[in-house]
Amino acid sequence: MSRLAAAHLDLAHALADAAGAVQRRYFRTPVAVDSKPDESPVTIADREAEAAMRDLLRARAPGHGVFGEEYGVEAPDAEFVWVIDPIDGTKSFICGRPLFGTLIALLHHGRPILGVIDQAILGERWVGGDGLPSTHNGRPISVRPCAALGQAVLFVTSPRMFGSFAERAAYQRVEDAVRLPMFGGDCYAYGLLAMGFADLVVEADLEPYDFMALVPIVGGAGGLVTDWEGGTLTLRSEGRTLAAGDRRVHAAARELLQLA
């Protein structure tokens, strides 16, 4: 792992631990569910988990920026910015399904150099960073080869995330081409891809806190995560993501995802 990523790894683990402690306290309990302006659900667990993470960052990395789902952006132009999602998959959380996760990314000058997916209920943690193979619970992981879309397992959280007719049609072309489409999973699906149990994830309508942590994890396992055009994901990306374990299926899916 690069010096910069390694220097912040302990803090990333501490952030995941703090969020997980909150999740375990509320999981499968009758928590109230509120709706955000975009109609997405949010709970006290989301808010308390992010608050705990931000408290740690203020104490241990006071000069760093933060971009979080629940409490917005602080110092976005800082050299280091933490991009955090306390519960990626709140719908799964409120339904008692342990396929949500905490997402933690560290950006250096806008580039993700460290990523964590943590599933506190199942006790699973994926870590990826510059210069180090990605791991699952401390063991190295890798993607699997997949030569063609007809052999691929595809994940998507929900077909309803494709908001426009063009997006829905593009996604449907990919679904029709793969061997097995699977639904649900949020960030957990990217962890499975990095371990070689899936080949593609196609999604849309995401925010940076939904995908930044995934880039170094999938990349460190030998895959790649880009936008639908194959471009680098940034804080300004439109939120359409394409993850693949094999560059051959990435290229084939990218062709089918062309919107114009």
Q: List, for residues 192-231, the tens digit of each pLDDT value.
A: 999 999 999 999 999 999 999 999 999 999 999 999 999 9
Q: What is the pLDDT of residue 6?
A: 78
pLDDT higher than threshold 70 for residue 241? yes
pLDDT higher than threshold 70 for residue 96? yes
Contact 11, 60 (CB under 8 A): yes
Higher-confidence position of 42 and 249: 249
Q: What is the pLDDT of residue 127?
A: 98
Average of per-residue pLDDT across 59-78 = 96
Class of residue 259 by CB neighbours under 10 A (exposed 0-12, middle 13-18, buried 19+): exposed
Residue 95: C-alpha distances to residues 52, 92, 209 (Å): 23, 5, 22
Q: Choose among 107, 96, 126, 106: nearest CA to 190.
A: 126
CB atoms within 10 A of CB 160: 9
Q: What is the pLDDT of residue 1?
A: 60
Confidence of residue 3 (pLDDT cuts 50, 70, 90): confident
Q: Scanning the structure block, which residue is given the tokens 């309803």?
A: 160
How does strand 153-156 pair with strand 180-183?
A: parallel
Confidence of residue 37 (pLDDT cuts 50, 70, 90): confident
**What b/e string do you get for 26-40 counting C-beta neighbours within 10 Å, with b at 16 or more?**
bbeeeeeeeeeeeee
pLDDT higher than threshold 90 for residue 257? yes
pLDDT higher than threshold 90 for residue 122? yes
Average of per-residue pLDDT across 148-160 = 96
End-to-end CA distance of the chain: 39
Q: What is the pLDDT of residue 231?
A: 97
Question: What is the rounded CA–CA span in Å between residue 159 and residue 123?
Answer: 28
**What b/e string do you get for 239-256 counting C-beta neighbours within 10 Å, with b at 16 or more?**
bbbbbbbbebbbebbbeb
Contact 78, 64 (CB under 8 A): yes
Element (H, E) at 174: helix 165-177
Average of per-residue pLDDT across 7-24 = 96
* C-alpha R_g of the chain: 17
Q: What is the dihedral of CA 191, 194, 200, 206, to 10 degrees?
A: 50
